[in-house]
C-alpha cells in the first residue's frame, strides 16, 4: 500500500533546511526572509519535495529579485504538483482559472469581430442587403437560399454571390 506524502512544510527544521539551501544558491535572499516566506506558505498543497524542487528551480533564475515568485504557478513546479497548485482566479469570473476561463473563452468567441466592430459570428440586427428585414429572418435572403443564389451562412449579410 502506497502512502501519500504530507503536503506543505511540516516542521521548522524543513523550513530552515530549505531556507539555508536557497540562501546558498541565492546569497541575496536572506535566510530570515526565506523563513518568513516559507512560514506564510506552510500549508501549501504541494508536498515538501515538490516545494523544494520548485524553489530550487526558481532560485536559479538570475533575473528574479525576490523569492516571492516561488509559490506562484508556473513551469518551475514539477508536473505532479501542478494539479494541486492554487489557481489564479479570473478577474471577471472568480470561480474560473485566469488562464483557462471558459466564460472568457466564450466571450472571446462571441465577440470575434472584424476591424469594423461587426461580429463575424452573429449576423447584424438588420439585413445588409434588405435593411427593411431582420438579419436572421429576412424572407428575401431565405428565398435566395432556396434558389441557390445565396449561401445559407450569408443570410442577413451582404451576398457576395450576386445582387438581390
For 69-90, what is each residue's pLDDT tens digit?
898 888 888 888 776 666 666 7
Helices (H), the chain: 12-25, 31-40, 48-59, 79-82, 102-110, 139-147
Q: What is the pTM of this model?
A: 0.52
Q: What is the pLDDT at residue 158? A: 81
State which residues of the chain have pLDDT below 50.
113-120, 123, 164
C-alpha to C-alpha distance for 16 and 21, rounded to whole angstroms:
8
Instruction: Specify whether the CB–CB gap between 20 and 8 falls below 8 A.
Output: no
Amino acid at each position: 500500500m502506497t502512502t501519500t506524502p504530507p503536503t506543505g512544510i511540516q516542521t521548522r527544521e524543513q523550513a530552515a533546511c530549505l531556507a539555508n539551501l536557497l540562501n546558498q544558491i541565492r546569497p541575496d535572499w536572506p535566510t530570515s526572509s526565506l523563513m518568513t516566506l516559507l512560514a506564510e506558505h506552510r500549508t501549501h498543497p504541494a508536498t515538501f519535495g515538490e516545494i523544494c524542487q520548485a524553489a530550487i528551480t526558481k532560485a536559479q533564475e538570475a533575473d528574479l529579485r525576490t523569492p516571492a515568485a516561488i509559490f506562484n504557478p508556473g513551469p518551475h513546479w514539477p508536473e505532479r504538483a501542478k494539479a494541486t497548485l492554487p489557481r489564479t482566479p479570473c478577474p471577471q469570473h472568480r470561480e474560473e482559472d485566469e488562464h483557462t476561463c471558459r466564460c472568457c473563452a466564450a466571450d472571446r468567441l462571441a465577440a470575434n469581430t472584424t476591424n469594423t466592430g461587426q461580429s463575424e459570428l452573429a449576423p447584424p440586427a438588420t439585413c445588409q442587403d434588405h435593411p427593411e428585414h431582420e438579419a436572421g429572418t429576412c424572407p428575401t435572403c431565405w428565398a435566395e437560399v432556396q434558389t441557390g443564389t445565396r449561401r445559407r451562412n450569408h443570410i442577413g449579410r451582404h451576398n457576395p454571390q450576386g445582387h438581390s
